[in-house]
Structure 1
Amino acid sequence: MKNLSCLLVLLFCGLSAAQEDQESTQLPSSTLEDRLKLLESQVDHLRKKERTQVIFSAAAGGTGTIGPFNVDTTMIYKTVITNIGNAYNSNTGVFTAPMKGVYYFCYFYHAGGEEGVVLLLLKNGKRIVTTSDHKAEDKADNGGNAVTLELNEGDPVYVIMRSQTHVWGDDFGHTTFSGFLLSAD
């Protein structure tokens, strides 16, 4: 909103200066119209950028243990809590950046201690951050991680559960994946 106010002040000042310039140099009105169209276009661009929202949060869903599997598996967070902008796909577990910008992601898990847990957050197939816990005698484990990423339009971000590990899945948000757009380019 601050940027929009500044642009409107500049627009006013620009029009005032253009009017003074025209009076002193007798510029054709088409030049003023071109300047006005350019400034209006810039104001529209800032308004659209300001309105752009990308926010999602999803829980693993289910009613118990997910895993262990024999191979690394993409986590599919089936219970969508929020999906403003529709960038998260609950059928694949993949968030796809709808535009270039800086995004914040976090993921958390709950699991029993009888198996280990290793969850990796990947961007374009490359591991970015990890959260894990080793097999132990305790009855429950919790963990998570978060990261800020610069993404291009179309970049996928998702969570992989390593083979022979597990998490707890339910609709109450024990194991979640969330993210949102911080700043659009």
Structure 2
Amino acid sequence: MATFLFGILLISFLGYTRCENCVSESRFNELEEIIRVKFQELQNENYELKEKLLALETKLEYYERHRKETPVDKDIGDETDTPEDEGVTNIRNRINGGIESKTIPGKLKRQVSTNVAFYAYLSGKRCYGNHETFIYDVVETNVGNGYNSRDGIFDVPVTGVYVFTVTLVQYPNENIQAEVIVDGVVKGFIFVDYQQNHEIDQASTSIVVHVNAGNHVFIRRGTNSACYVASETNYARTTFGGWLLF
């Protein structure tokens, strides 16, 4: 009898302990959804930080290259600085807080060329992650050398009003969306959805926008999009181009 009563008490105690520590199925599902949403937000934030870091690294590399290659601005016909020139430069530097003009990239001080145009396209099918930059690896035109086929970024060489045009080809049975990014801001969208099975469709969009020298322009995959971007050199190309309007 004592053993029987002890067993009942033990079962009651264990049941009480489980109830104290258990989590209901609805609460568990709710926590699981919260964790999933937070993880997605962190993942999106990580993609955006990577893109900003890449843009900064590309801009820094460009400035460093031009700082080494671009000669110091002088009046036309001057070969060397005279003592009077150095004195004027020193006074100007003190007025400007001691910033030496020789360290400023030539691109920021003056714009040499006003002829800018580029056109590039994908050589084949590609799969891109969320907010990943499209890299158009075949370059047909690159007047001004602003477009970089290694990272897919157009580094604006001259301040002005530009036209940028994008053509997007979807992979069969998949929808594809892309965003036009200008200096870190979404300035345009393009979306292609399939109408029939095994059908390939394409769409184009253009924007006219004022940009400053040193700004970055690129195309990235949107959030409401499939992975694959199609491009066939013979009949349907995914392209990116632009030119200086004025």
**TM-score above 0.5:** yes
Whole-Å separation in 2 of the counterparts to 1:97 and 1:51: 12
Alignment partner for residue 154 of structure 1, among 202, 214, 237?
Answer: 214
Conserved in 2, the CA contact under 8 Å of 1:79 and 1:171?
Answer: no
Q: How does 1:63-82 map to 2 (within 5 A)?
A: 65-67=125-127, 69-82=128-141
Distance 1:49 1:71 in 2: 36
Report the counterpart of residue 143 of structure 2 in structure 1.
84
Residues 1:175 and 2:238 aligned together: yes
The structure number with the bigger radius of gyration is 2
The letter for the 2-side match of 1:134 is D
The verdict on how the C-alpha distance between 1:99 and 1:51 changes in structure 2, with shifts beyond 3 A counting, is: closer
Instruction: Give the direction of change, closer, same or farther, for the CA distance of 1:178–1:116 in structure 2 (3 Å limit).
Output: same
- Check if 1:104 corresponds to 2:163: yes
Moved more, 76-85 or 167-176: 167-176
Q: Which residue of 1 aligns with 2:192?
A: 133
Residue 59 of structure 1 is aligned with which of 106, 121, 124? 121
Change (3 A) 1:178 1:111: same
With structure 1 as the length reference, what TM-score do the two structures score? 0.65
- For residues 24-39 of structure 1, the aligned pairs below 5 Å read none
Indicate the percent of aligned positions where both proteins have the same amino acid.
28
Q: Gaps (5+ residues) in structure 2? A: 1-109
Report the residue type matching 1:146 in the other structure: S
SS in 1 for 2:202: strand
Q: Is the 8 Å Cα contact of residues 116 and 136 (structure 1) preserved in structure 2? A: no
| Residue 149 of structure 1: how far off its partner (Å) | 0.9
Q: Partners of 2:145 and 2:245 in 1: how far apart?
A: 16
Structure 1: gaps spanning 5 or more residues: 1-47
Q: Deviations over 1:19-38 (max 9, x none)?
A: xxxxxxxxxxxxxxxxxxxx
**Bigger strand fraction:** 1
SS at match of 2:150: coil
| Distance in 2, Cα, partners of 1:134 & 1:71 | 17
C-alpha change, 1:50 and 1:74, in structure 2 (3 Å) is closer
1:125 shift after superposition: 1.5
Q: Tell me, in whole angstroms, the C-alpha distance in 2 between the residues paired with 1:112 and 1:164.
A: 9
In 1, the alpha carbon distance for the partners of 2:151 and 2:232 equals: 17
**1:74-111 deviations in Å (ceiling 9; x for gaps):** 00000000001000000010001112111110010222
Quick check: which one's helix share is greater?
2
1:95 pairs with one of 154, 168, 179: 154
Corresponding residue to 1:120 among 162, 179, 200: 179
Is the Cα–Cα contact under 8 Å of residues 60 and 79 in structure 1 kept in the other structure?
yes
The SS at the match of 2:237 is coil
- The normalised TM-score by structure 2 is 0.50
Deviation of 1:137 after TM superposition, in Å, equals 3.3
Aligned length: 133
Q: 2:203 aligns with which of 139, 143, 167?
A: 143
Equivalents in 2 of 1:178, 1:80: separation in Å? 10
